[in-house]
Amino acid sequence: MKKLTLFSLFLAAVVIILGAYTRLTDAGLGCPDWPGCYGNLTVPLSEDKVAAANAAYPERPVEAFKAWNEMIHRYFAGTLGLCVLAIAIMAVRQRKTGTPLKLPLILLALIIFQAALGMWTVTLNLLPVVVMGHLLGGFSVLSCLFILYLRLRRRDTSNNEVAEEHSASAHSAWQKLRFLAFVGIAVVVTQIALGGWTSANYAALACTEMPVCESGWQQRLDFAGAYSVPDADNYEFGAHDYDERVTMHIMHRAGALVTFFYVLALGIGVLVSRATSVAQKRISLFMLGSLVVQVALGISNIVFMLPLAVAVMHNAVAAVLLLSLLNLVFSFVVSAPSKVKRAHDATSPSRYTLSGAAMPAASFSSHSLTKAPGGFHG
Residues marked as catalytic: 70
Beta-strand relationship, 165-167 and 351-354: unpaired
* Strands of 165-167's sheet in order across: 165-167, 338-342, 351-354, 357-360
Contacts of 353 (CB under 8 A, 6+ apart): 340, 341, 342, 343, 359
Sign of CA dihedral 150, 375, 313, 225: positive
Report the alpha-carbon distance of residue 272 to residue 178 in Å, rounded: 14
Question: How far apart are the C-alpha atoms of 27 and 253, rounded to whole Å?
Answer: 26
CB contact burial 5-18 (16+ within 10 A = b; e otherwise): bbbbbebbbbbbbb
Distances (CA, A) of 129 to 121, 132, 166, 227, 235: 9, 5, 47, 10, 11
Q: Which of 162, 188, 124 is nearest to 335 (CA)?
A: 162
The three-class DSSP label of residue 64 is helix
CA distance 224 to 368: 59
Give the Cα separation of 77 and 245 in Å (integer): 30
* Stated length of the chain: 378
- Rounded to an integer, what distance in angstroms lies between the CA atom of residue 85 and that of residue 109? 10
